[in-house]
Amino acid sequence: MKIDPDIHIHEIAAKKSSPADRPAESSFADVLNRELENQESLDRNASRVSGLQHTADILLIPPVDEKEAVSRLEKFLDTLEEYAEKLDNPYYTPKDLSFLISRIETESNDLGLLSASLTDNAELKSMIDSALIRSTTEVIRFNRGDYI
């Protein structure tokens, strides 16, 4: 890059404020009331948006049949059992178990969404939540290196 000494940098002149730019003379109470009204309108808009978001979340999770939920929970428990068996076997290294950990994480995310969609069956929901808690602790233990 070549620097040309003939190019001059002009100073930026400060913009003079016009009477329209200056705030009108008002008391502190007027300014405070105006700001509080603005804040209340923002809060109302935020509550409407969050209500819509909650409705959208409900609509995105389709209702799940209990038989399907039970079969998915059984599949998840089978994966956890396979993990426990391979963890107990000294011939498997943590590197060999990493694919199971990633599968457990994926299935637990899916079961978390499934659990959120269950509202009628509290027992099934509590069983799924219990399995999710146990799997999460196992994933944390594995990633932390407790089994090395």
Q: Which residue positions in the chain have pLDDT lower than 50?
A: 11-13, 52-53, 56, 59
- What does the pLDDT read at residue 56? 43
Q: Is 104:131 a contact under the CB 8 Å cutoff? A: no
What's the rounded Cα separation, in Å, for the pair 59 and 79?
30
The pTM of this model reads 0.55
- What does the pLDDT read at residue 103? 92
DSSP label at 121?
A: -
- Where do the DSSP E strands lie in 4-147? none
DSSP label at 79?
A: H
Give me the helix-helix angle, 94-117 and 122-144, nearest 10°: 150
- What does the pLDDT read at residue 75? 92
- What does the pLDDT read at residue 77? 92
